[in-house]
Copies of this chain bind each other. A is one copy, B any other.
Amino acid sequence: MKLADFKVEQWMNDHEMQAKYNLTDTCSKEMSLKELLDLESIDLDMILDYGEITGSQAVKKGILSLYESGNYKQITTCHGCLEANMLVMQTLLEKGDHVITFSPGYQQFMEIPASLGCEVSILPLDAHWQPSLEAVKDALCANTKMVILNNPNNPTGISFSKAFVQGLIDLCKARKIYILCDEVYRGFSDDKSISDMYEWGISTSSLSKTLSLAGLRYGWIKADESIIHQINVRRDYAMISTGPLMDALATIALRHKTELMAANKARIETNKQTVREWLKDHPHFEVQLPEAATVSFLHFDYPISSVEFAEDCLAETGVFFVPGSCFGYESYLRLGLGQDSEKMKEGLAQLSVWCEKRFG
């Protein structure tokens, strides 16, 4: 089935290797293998067979520690949050279903349901990057099967209001509409998981954004047991297992989540402060900084397309952004907040020089 290019991922693939100052990466600064193994060693005698198919008890225990409720049968594991989302959508959606999602948002949530023959309503977020419950109410149809969100949102980093989330659950509950919530940015604030609030809420996440381990490609799904069972049927066709090595490394990271997330949250705070200071001298830019997430959506008012901005800035300074156009928004750049703080300062300084030269 033909899919449109996944614009943000394509942009990252095509340009990231040229970046000297990657100001657009949405991960927390990645650990080295040594740093991970310094936390705890692994059993070198482990046999590299398929391992426990849906994940070991140890890794599931670690995953459950990120939630308020749930048991081992409510978890299945996979390769990153992206695959988790795919498994959920491909398992539960059928041709003719109606799906609601939000913009700006993650293109996967629009393109994959459409490719499956679903009708997709894309509802715009408001000026504060909040969705409208009224708009959801208006969009609901007899065949609405799923509402899909990123919370906190990609690319804005903003969490949807608690009132909205509760209102959405109330709307969906009566008709058993699934809420798939990509919670890959959750963990730095007190946002609850949808899977702890709603029987038909499905949480997906990974180690990439909050635990500095994008390179393990380790993700999971948490949902009602009956949903996980259905997903595991498809999962047998798609991946078998994550393997025992990834399982063991993920277990270590999850056992040390408190210290890892504290360090990452502190880095986000430092980077947010850097951005605030920088903005004081740069009136052509503004951003609504998230309470606590590794991503934000930086607005600029120069008369230039976001693609031209991102391409020229990268070519001339090595400062790397994903242009807003990858999310359907002009005059924006995706600004990451989780990477090295010194590098971020240097990158913003380079950006200042470039803007001065380019726009006067």
Contact = CB atoms under 8 A, between A and B. Distances in A.
Interface in A264-318: none
A217 B237 contact: no
Interface residues of A, number: 61
Given A1-B93, A33-B45, A49-B30, A216 B243 contact: yes
Contact of A48 (B9, B215, B236): B215
How many copies of this chain sit in the oligomeric assembly?
2
Contacts of A212: 48
Interface in A96-146: 108, 111-112, 116
Nearest to A107: B237
A79 B82 contact: no
Nearest to A208: B50
A349 interface: no
Contacts of A116: 1
Contacts of A168: none
A10 interface: yes
Interface of A: 1-3, 5-6, 9-10, 12-13, 27, 30-34, 36-37, 42-51, 53, 79-80, 82-83, 86, 90-91, 93-94, 108, 111-112, 116, 212-217, 233-234, 236-246, 249
